[in-house]
Amino acid sequence: MFYGWLDKWDEQRARRGEERKKAADFVLDADRAFPGAKKITSIEEFCALADQAVADPAFFDAPSVSDQGFERLDGWLKFPSDISTDIEQNNVVLAKITESGSFDQAMVIFHHWNATAWNRHIANFFSQRGITVVEIAMPYHFERSRPGSEYADYMLSPNLGRTIQSLRQAVLDGRKLIRLLKKEGYRDISVLGMSLGSWVAGLIAAHDLAVSKASLFLTAGSLADMVWTGRATRSIRDSLEAVIDLADLRAAWSPLNLENYAHRLARTDLDLHVVVARRDRVVLSEISQRFMQSLKNAGARPNIFTLECGHYSLAMPPYILLAGLSLKRFLSSPHFGNRGKFR
C-alpha cells in the first residue's frame, strides 16, 4: 500500500513538471555540437561526427585554457563560460560557495534538469563537516536561463546539436571551476551530480584527473535511452520518434553516453558512488543497472546504494536522509581507488 502511494506521488509530481514542457522541432544543428563541422543534412553524417567525438580524448577539453575573469562576492562566484552561445545570459557561469574553513576537500554539485532552488541543506550539512561545497548553475538554469523560457528547454531538447553543446558547455564550466579550486589549494576534489547533473559530473570525472571522488545520484549511462524511456522527457521523445529511432539517437548522442567512458571512470585514482532508485520512472533502474555492469566490466568497483523509491520521492524523508548518509560515508572514507578495497 505504501509503495502504491509513493508511485502515485511520483506520478503527480511528474505531471506538474510536464505542464510547462512544450513540443519542439527536431533539429540536427551539428555545428553547435561539433565546432568547425561543415553543414550536414543527414542523421548518418551527424552520427559519423559523433563517433569521431567519442574517439577524440580532447572533445571535453577547453578550446583554450583561459582562467581569467573570476569574480567573487559574498559567497558567489561568476566567470565567463568557455563556450559562447547565442543566449547572452547563458555565457556567464554562476556558482554558490559554502565555505568550510578547510582546504582539505571541496565538492562541486551539478543539479538536476529544471532545478529552481540551490541545495542549501546539502551545502550546509557538508560544509559543517569540513567540505567546502560549490553549487554551479548548469547552462540555461537560474540566472543563465533563456529569457522568456519556462524551463531549461535548451539544455535538453530534440535539437541534437544544442543538447550536445549544452552538456559539453556544462562539462567545460565545471572543469574550469575545478581548476580554480585546485589553484586555491583544495587537496581533494569531489563531484556530485543529480539526475541530468550526474551525466555532467560523470563526464567530468571521466576526463579530469583532478577529481578523486564522484557521486552520481539517479544516473544511467545512455542519455538517449533515458530520454526515450523516461517519464520526464515524453515531449522530447514525441518530437524525435517521428523522425529518428532509438538506435539513431543512441549513435547521435554517443559523446554523452557514460558507458563509452567506462574505462576512464575505472581509473585507479577515482572512487565512485552511485545512488539508484528502484522505482524510478525518469531514469529507469534497468538502464542504471546496465551502466553499473559496464563499469564493472571495465574494472571499476562502484559503491552502489539502492533505495526503494522513485525519482522525485528520493527528495523525501527517509530516502534523502539515507542517501545523504551514504554520501557522507563515501566522502569521509579513505581514498582507495576503483581497484582498491571498498567500504
Grid cell in block for residue 49: 561526427
266 band by pLDDT with thresholds 50, 70 and 90: very high
65 band by pLDDT with thresholds 50, 70 and 90: low
Question: Smallest Cα–Cα separation from 60: which of 93, 37, 82?
Answer: 82
Task: Name the fold adopted by 2-332.
Answer: Rossmann fold (3.40.50)
Who's near 313: CB < 8 A, 6+ residues apart?
6, 9, 10, 13, 277, 279, 319
342 band by pLDDT with thresholds 50, 70 and 90: very low
340 band by pLDDT with thresholds 50, 70 and 90: very low
Angle at 148 between CA 111 and CA 9, to 5 degrees: 45
Burial track 292-320 (b if 16+ CB lie within 10 A, e otherwise):
bebbeebebbbbbbebebbbbbbeeeebb
Name the average pLDDT for the chain.
93
Question: Mean pLDDT over residues 173-199, rounded?
Answer: 97
Distances 126 to 32, 134, 159, 313, 321 between C-alpha atoms, Å:
37, 11, 37, 22, 13
Q: Is 186 exposed, middle or buried (0-12, 13-18, 19+ CB in 10 A)?
A: buried
What confidence score (pLDDT) does residue 4 get? Answer: 82
What confidence score (pLDDT) does residue 19 get? Answer: 72
